[in-house]
Amino acid sequence: MSFHEVENLTEFLDEVKLKMLNITGSSNKNIIEISDYVLANPGKFIRTQLVFIYGSVIDIEKKKLIELAAAAELIHLSTLIHDDIIDEAKIRRNKPTVIAKWGLKKAILYGDFLYTKTFQALNSLENTQIAEVLISCAEQLIEGEFIQLQNISDKNKEDYFKVIEKKTAILFSGILECLGIHGKLVKEKISSLKKLGLNFGNAFQLNDDLADFFDQLNSGKEKFKDLNEGKITYPIIITMSRADKDSRNNISKLIEEKKFDAVFDEIEKNDGFNLTRLERDKAINNCIEYTKTLFKLDNVELMESFLKNSLKA
């Protein structure tokens, strides 16, 4: 598929949404009701955008790109349903979460339903290599949640990147790996695509961490949602690592007492937000470098602007 074959991203998004609707079809009224609610909730479709942008410059038929994007979005969506139970989240994308609206039991079952339907769709592709990559991503997403449950406090930079590699970056990496497989690229190029995906995921998560403090409208998150759930995000970790013992204890106390505005001030004072932005921009630059080694120069410009637009809140 080349650029001129796809009229625009909006059209592609609509086709992916339609595919997702088809995949999640059910005869059960209760399931249909929840699916209608969940699938109507817009979200950024960042995974679909990634498939669209990078899939357009590799020679892959559109049908395969739509299937890949739908599967990736559904894997992401499945994990969100159960993550929201685990995080006790009440709001997702400006609307009540499935657990908030339908209760624990239906939220568990609906998550299971989405997982199952996604695997069914992967199986129907009759491409076990693609399915293997994406199922393995699902496994790591779950493992990432497990690790997050284990070490909520006292996290360092290294732990942080270990968790977000599994929780966020791995699916972006898996998507790009699948594009490489579909495009029959050589091993080295697929390996570069995977690393690009990991960097993309890191930048995406760091940006999302920042959004917890700044940007409520765009992200659809409640303000201080991560903090409320006891999630120690990068701005806090980097601040802690630079602060002296007294300051560290003070920040921990403020978090515990849920005095989040004061936490914000502490981070600002210690330059924690700027350092987070620096780390994010480093990851974005890595993405751009990998992109340059992988693709022709006249395609890189578009990708560069996509990376900057989607990864900088």
d(C-alpha 240, C-alpha 233), whole Å = 11
**Candidates 48-56, 57-65, 125-133, 183-191; binding stretch for its own copies (CB under 8 A):** 125-133
* The only residue of 5, 7, 126, 244 in contact with its own copies, by rule CB under 8 A: 126
Per CB under 8 A, which of residues 138..177 are in contact with its own copies? 138-139, 142-143, 145-147, 149-150
Helices (H), the chain: 9-23, 29-40, 46-57, 62-86, 98-124, 128-150, 157-164, 170-182, 187-211, 216-219, 225-228, 234-242, 245-256, 260-269, 272-294, 297-311
Residue 47, C-beta contacts closer than 8 angstroms, at least 6 positions apart: 69, 72, 73, 76, 171, 172, 175
Give me the amino acid identity at 4: H
**x/- string (CB under 8 A) for its own copies, residues 94-113?**
----------xxx-xx-xxx
Q: How many residues interact with its own copies (rule CB under 8 A)? A: 39
Residues 6+ apart with CB under 8 A from 59: 1, 2, 183
- Residue 261 engages its own copies in binding (rule: CB under 8 A): no
- Name beta bridge partners: 95: 92
Contact flag: residue 274 with its own copies (CB under 8 A)? no
Min CB(157)–its own copies separation in Å: 21
Minimum distance from residue 89 beta carbon to its own copies (Å): 13
- Residue 96's φ and ψ, nearest 5 degrees, are -55, 145
Applying CB under 8 A, does 122 fall inside the site for its own copies?
yes
Q: Which stretch binds its own copies (CB under 8 A): 53-61, 131-139, 153-161, 195-203?
A: 131-139
- Let me know the angle formed at the C-alpha of 10 by 9 and 14, rounded to the nearest 5 degrees: 115
Here's the x/- map for its own copies, 68-97, by CB under 8 A: it reads as -----------x--x--xx-----------
Measured between alpha carbons, how far is 63 from 57 in angstroms, rounded to an integer? 15
Q: Give whichever of 74 and 211 is closer to its own copies, judged by the CB atom.
A: 74
Give the residues lining the site for its own copies (CB under 8 A): 26, 28, 30-31, 79, 82, 85-86, 104-106, 108-109, 111-113, 115-117, 119-120, 122-124, 126, 128, 131-132, 135-136, 138-139, 142-143, 145-147, 149-150
